[in-house]
Structure 1
Amino acid sequence: MNISVLGLGQMGSAIAERLISAGHEVSVWNRSKGRADALVAKGATELAAPSDAWSRSEVCITMVADSQALADVALARDGGLAHAAAGRGRTLIDMSTVSAEISSDVAAAAEAGGVRYLRAPVSGNPGVVRAGNLTVIASGEDAVFTSVESLLRDIGPHVFYVGEGDAARVIKLALNLMVAGTAELLAECVALAEGHGVRRDKLLEVVGASAVASPLVKYKIGPLLADDYTSTFSARLMRKDLDLALESAAAGGVPLPVTGVVQQLLQACISTGLGDLDFMALLVRLQREAGQIPA
């Protein structure tokens, strides 16, 4: 299949690699130049602009940083993917984590322009993508999902169709608020133990064998043992996702008190220069406050 991938951050690049490995003809684009070079070396074709996607592809996947970035590529007055004449009858799959408002705008433009639209946000990091363990959560018209299901499974084996509209957006935000909350509790667990002289390796050995040893916790044990906060998903992006979750909750009249607290803790990470580190920098913030490491 001919596929375009727009947005070559860590996740978009990993998704494009999976599609190339699966034998698809892949075209790629990124706002900043140079991000496509490694993919071109693996056989991808670089597009000059997002609007070129429909001239080469039956399916276009967007994996962009935020709602405004999706609006820029999907709703732009000239060449917006959701309403471009060349996209009629073709399929736009957005795998980003964005607001339901922007997603609804894209859906309306796609319907008016005859472009088929599927929301398909994902749960996992680039390493999970490359290991073939990504979870894809899809919503939209059932027929659209069915037509691209095998393609989604080339990206990640855990594919769930959850219904019409923006159901996938809500589930993704619900998952990420649990990820952020778990990260804060794991950080507090480590800070508490180390505050009493417990060795981190001994603590995490017990945690990894306990009832709280979720896949997320197990993914984080190795980096925590190495004191490695290289970003798989930054504190800044996690804060953005919790902003979206709180906006969605407010629209539905649902209180999310713990999510609100964790959002503020992530903002504290950003305000103290930790925003571009992995979201487990929540531990660094705690250690500084406890005087366990220099501020």
Structure 2
Amino acid sequence: MSGQEKTSLKIGWIGTGRMGFAMARRLIHAGYDVSVYNRTRAKAEPLGKLGATLVDNPRDLASCDITFSMVSGPADLKQVISGDQGVLSDKTQAPSIHVDCSSVSAEGSADVRKDLADRGAQMIAAPVSGNAKVVEAGMLSIVASGPEQAFQTVHPLLDCLGEGVSYVGDGELARMVKICHNIFLGVVTQSLAEITILAEKGGVKRHAFLDFINKSVMGSVFTRYKTPAFVNLDWKPTFTPALLKKDLDLGLSAGRTFGVPQPLTALTREIVQSMIGNGYQDIDFGALLELQAKASGLQLTSENIPVTDGLTKKN
């Protein structure tokens, strides 16, 4: 895509929560002409100061070439695309491609894909892996599915959002990949909580234990960027227990459909449900560490030690 094509391309963005805000900002910084809608306008206003055009409802984005959405669930996606004030409520025009980066079910995604197809628009499902800090560091991972030609059109835009895009085929295959990813996220976090508490009860400081894990073959981008929260008990939300439970439920439903037993997923789902029942609501799911500590008779305190999250900001 040439510089001229980039500047002339009109992009619409729907949803400026923690993730959507950071992602839209990257497109603005990359020089794209971006118009933004968010249900709570005040949350989108800082993007206006960066050069975005703020609109009053999704319908105002119908004239854009390509639209994006990052919303909470399938009902929200249906509303912003096919609702009374949705993108498709303008009967005279519609974007050529819509890219949805939300975590929604395959069924909800397919429903909206059909609505778009009825208006001659194509859809790319492009759920993401990471949080707002990962987006800011340019390390967001994206999995995409849909018509290959449409994917090739939006590929440069997706590249602006992170460090790589994995195209997995047509239809809703990206939704399956994201569900599997979030199952892994929950199971790994619970396992990390268990072994961290075991090490601490055995006399090892959390920061020292996690430093070793991060330097070992078991370390990962995820264990590294979760380390500051585990060490200093910073549970500012990046992904809430309720959202994790939703994805674990989707995964278990898929397992029943395809006949795949998931004993670890089922157990993790019940632990997350217990977490919610114990009052962990608007908090990061990494607080599974605290639940594990309570179950182990350990009173956690912050170690108040500066540790790296492993994220190096990229342009």
Please tell me whether the aligned partners of residues 62 and 88 of structure 2 are also in contact (alpha carbons under 8 angstroms).
no
Gaps of 5+ in 1: none
Match of 1:58 among 65, 69, 74: 65
Could you say which residue in structure 1 is the equivalent of 2:313?
A: none
Native 8 Å contact 2:229 2:286 kept in 1: no
Residue 191 of structure 1: aligned partner: 197
Contact 2:100–2:126 under 8 Å retained in 1: yes
**What corresponds to 2:206 in structure 1?**
200
| Alignment partners' CA distance in 2, 1:63 and 1:163 | 21
Where does residue 43 of structure 1 map in the other structure?
51
1:14-33 superposed matches below 5 A:
14-33=22-41
**1:89 Cα deviation after fit:** 5.5
**C-alpha displacement of 1:15:** 0.5
Q: For the residues of structure 2 that align with 1:82 and 1:137, how far apart are their CA atoms?
A: 25
Structure 1 SS opposite 2:166: strand
For residue 164 of structure 1, give the secondary structure of its aligned residue in structure 2. Answer: coil
Give a deviation string over 1:152-183, Cα, whole Å, max 9, x none.
11111301111011111101111111111110
Task: Report deviation, 1:277.
Answer: 1.2
Which residue, 243, 261, 265 being the options, matches 2:267? 261
1:84–1:113: 8 Å Cα contact kept in structure 2? no
Counterparts of 2:235 and 2:130, CA distance in 1:
17
Tell me whether 135-144 or 65-74 shows the greater mean CA deviation: 65-74
Amino acid at match of 1:70: L
- What corresponds to 1:138 in structure 2? 144
User: In the aligned structure 1, how far is the partner of 2:133 from the partner of 2:141?
Assistant: 12
Bigger shift: 83-92 or 126-135? 83-92
Determine the structure 2 residue equivalent to 1:214.
Answer: 220
Report the Cα offset of residue 243 of structure 1: 1.6
Q: CA deviation at 1:223?
A: 2.0
- Three-state SS of the structure 2 residue aligned to 1:111 is helix
Deviates more, 1:197-206 or 1:138-147: 197-206
> What's the counterpart of residue 19 of structure 2?
11
Provide the residue aligned with 1:290 in structure 2. Answer: 296
Give the deviation of 1:84 after TM superposition: 4.8
* AA matched with 2:255: A
CA RMSD, Structure 1 to Structure 2 (Å): 1.6
Question: Shift in Å at residue 118 of structure 1?
Answer: 0.8
Aligned to 1:108: 114
The 1:21/1:199 distance shift into structure 2, 3 A limit, reads same
- TM-score (structure 1 length as normaliser): 0.94
Match of 2:6 in 1: none
Structure 1 residues 61, 233: CA separation in 2 closer, same or farther (over 3 Å shift)?
Answer: same
**Superposition misfits of 4+ residues, deviation over 6 angstroms:** none
1:249-288 deviation line (CA, Å, top 9, x unaligned): 2222222221111111111111112122111111111112
What CA distance in whole angstroms lies between the structure 1 residues aligned with 2:47 and 2:94? 27
Aligned residues: 292
The alignment status of 1:92 with 2:98, answered yes or no, reads yes
TM-score norm. by structure 2 comes to: 0.88
Instruction: Give the Cα–Cα distance (whole angstroms) in 1 for the partners of residues 182 and 69 of structure 2.
Output: 19
